[in-house]
Structure 1
Amino acid sequence: MAEGFQAKADTSSAFSGLDRLTGPIATKLARSMGVASGTVYRDEAKLLAPKDDGLLASSIYLAYKDNRSNDDSVTYSITWNAKKAPHGHLQEFGHWQTHVTYKGSDGHWYTLPNVPLAQPRWVPAHPFLRPAFDMARERAQQAAIARGRERLPELLRDTYQPPDDDFV
């Protein structure tokens, strides 16, 4: 699986006051807001992905990273399925083409491993993740805030324990 592109956004001003929340409510709220924000980034990356065969765009997904998340932080990745679109990194970062390639009658590109180019050539990048983070930053932040405003009352309502009537 591709690791994708790492980006950090300073959302401290948008999320001021949320640092007073602790425990499961804070984690659930952060995850809800992370999904809302990540969905905007993912969808933007899909729009920007090269459309030659559609495989790359359809393989882009948002995933929770359990091994990178803890009680203080939740992490999501936007990346692509490398089995479905194994050359996504070549599109994102560019690459040196060292062998002859051709487009088959099925519409897929193929490399002739026994036919090197006389002179390798640089194939420029057609980035889709990096620009998605730049172009969608404000929309993603707004989506996270909107989802937080919707989700927080739900979480507080679900955890509210009425007083025990035995003491009345």
Structure 2
Amino acid sequence: MAELTAKTCKESLVIKTSRVFPLDTNNHNTLFGGKLMSYIDDVASISAAMHSRCEVVTASTDSVDFLIPIRQSDSVSLKSYVSSVGRSSMEVFVKVIAEDLKTGERRLAATSFLTFVALNENGKPEQVPQVIPESDEEVMLFNTAQQRRNVRKERREHSEAFANVVTL
């Protein structure tokens, strides 16, 4: 197998900006959480595909932390990039920034971590390049990735045990 060339986090950077329209909001006139989660999965999957240059599947949405409401008067910008990798898995970090379009005030509205697996043409896991963090944020996320990986593994074990008890 050929040696894979490591890539910087910014090589997988995806930015998506949308206006918040009335149909995107709930009865509080804030962005539906499910709509935002769809945006998050979309940009994260693109980051994972850009990093691996393979088909990818979502293995887990580790967390979506809604920090502040996103109002109808806001735009919403999502920035995602691969923050850490395993052999065939990629952790993708997504940050969501709400911007009041009248005042220009920008606020961190949500953060999320997702895990994707790269697949080859036969649908089997494919090795991915290592990731090189550069900015302070990227280095911090890279250095704390093992802690999140441990939590993810423990949560998965609990989910599998729970699934053996839950009736259909």
Q: Same fold (TM over 0.5)?
A: no
Normalised by the length of structure 1, the TM-score is: 0.28
Normalised by the length of structure 2, the TM-score is: 0.28
Name the structure with the higher helix share. Answer: 1
The higher-RCO structure (CA 8 Å, 6+ apart) is 1
Name the structure with the higher strand share. Answer: 2
Q: Which protein has the larger Cα radius of gyration, Structure 1 or Structure 2?
A: 1
